[in-house]
A = this chain, B = another copy of it.
């Protein structure tokens, strides 16, 4: 459930005077996006999403996020396109917050993704990586390996409240990942949060990617590892090899993985599982009881970490021998 700042019709009308979107017909607060307040607008020129950036988003990052959407959209990636104001900029102010208007993408996210959806998302991720290769802005990933220990130190004293032995087990994983994290893989723009709720489909066809508010400059193969965690595990935490094969097949058809990238997948996937476990654990320990926010279970990702620890080769994720690799 989204944070929700209501906006008045007069404030919204004033905000929209800086845009050429025609007459405003309706706006509804929508229950999507965890970090921001989002509204679905109907105007005479079409449908839009209005986002109010709440305090968890650093306003200094907005030019990166909005510039990236513009850049990817210009290169044929289906993603929300920031609407330019009459002065040419894309960021305004509304209800005391930075705010932006982007085009609305039709499509639905898959609560129950199939193998075909996994193949589509793999191909779209690779296309996004290629399209982002000449994006000029840079943004460090605060949630990559160097950011994990500070987050862990805050959660560790209470981690065993969630499960006995949780602290010791995670401590060992973190030490391993810090010692073995690769520094020599191809870097570029990554989405960093391409979970099913950020990918829209119309029928079996992918219709767009949304929510670039974790996007950053990091290892491209790390983004692939995030998707393996996000798309290829079943509700019982088992890994679905058929989905892994489809996702990696879709990806490598568009952008082949180098042997070094492929070889590092088990470490990257283990790190990605740790990353989502850590933010879930932090929220788990810090969300008040009785709140309507649904707490996501950090143990799901502990179980994924255990799986990745046992993986010895990228073939175990379903990576098939590729043609020409770098």
Q: Taking beta carbons and an 8 Å cutoff, which residues of A are in contact with B?
A: 1-2, 4, 6, 8-10, 23-32, 40, 42, 47, 104-112, 200-202, 288-293
Q: Across the interface, which residues of B come within 8 angstroms of A2, CB to CB?
A: 31
Q: How far is the CA of A80 from the CA of B297 in the complex (A)?
A: 40
**A26, A110, A112, A201: most-surrounded residue (chain B CB, <10 A):** A26
Further pairs besides A2-B31, A289-B290: 11, Cβ < 8 Å: A4-B31, A8-B111, A25-B106, A25-B107, A26-B104, A26-B108, A26-B200, A28-B40, A30-B31, A291-B291, A292-B292
Query: From A8, which residue of chain B is reached at the shortest CB distance?
Result: B111
Do B30 and A30 touch (CB < 8 A)?
yes
Do A6 and B111 touch (CB < 8 A)?
yes
6 cross-chain pairs, A with B, having the tightest CB-CB distances, nearest first: A29-B31, A8-B111, A25-B106, A288-B290, A28-B30, A292-B292
Q: How far is the CA of A66 from the CA of B290 in the complex (A)?
A: 34
Cross-chain contact of A8 among B1, B10, B112, B293 (Cβ < 8 A): B112
Q: How far is the CA of A25 from the CA of B9 in the complex (A)?
A: 27
Do B47 and A42 touch (CB < 8 A)?
yes
Distance from A24 Cβ to chain B, minimum over Cβ atoms (Å): 7
Q: Across the interface, which residues of B come within 8 angstroms of A104, CB to CB?
A: 26
Query: From A292, which residue of chain B is reached at the shortest CB distance?
Result: B292
Cross-chain contact of A26 among B1, B107, B111 (Cβ < 8 A): B107
Q: How far is the CA of A186 from the CA of B115 in the complex (A)?
A: 63
Q: How far is the CA of A46 from the CA of B40 in the complex (A)?
A: 15
Distance from A39 Cβ to chain B, minimum over Cβ atoms (Å): 9
Cross-chain contact of A4 among B1, B27, B291 (Cβ < 8 A): B1
Q: How far is the CA of A56 from the CA of B134 in the complex (A)?
A: 54
Do A25 and B202 form a contact, CB below 8 Å, given A110-B9, A112-B8?
yes
Do B9 and A111 touch (CB < 8 A)?
yes
Q: How far is the CA of A201 from the CA of B6 in the complex (A)?
A: 17
Do B108 and A24 touch (CB < 8 A)?
yes
Q: Across the interface, which residues of B come within 8 angstroms of A25, CB to CB?
A: 106-107, 202
Do B106 and A26 touch (CB < 8 A)?
yes
Q: Across the interface, which residues of B come within 8 angstroms of A4, CB to CB?
A: 1, 31
Do A293 and B292 touch (CB < 8 A)?
yes
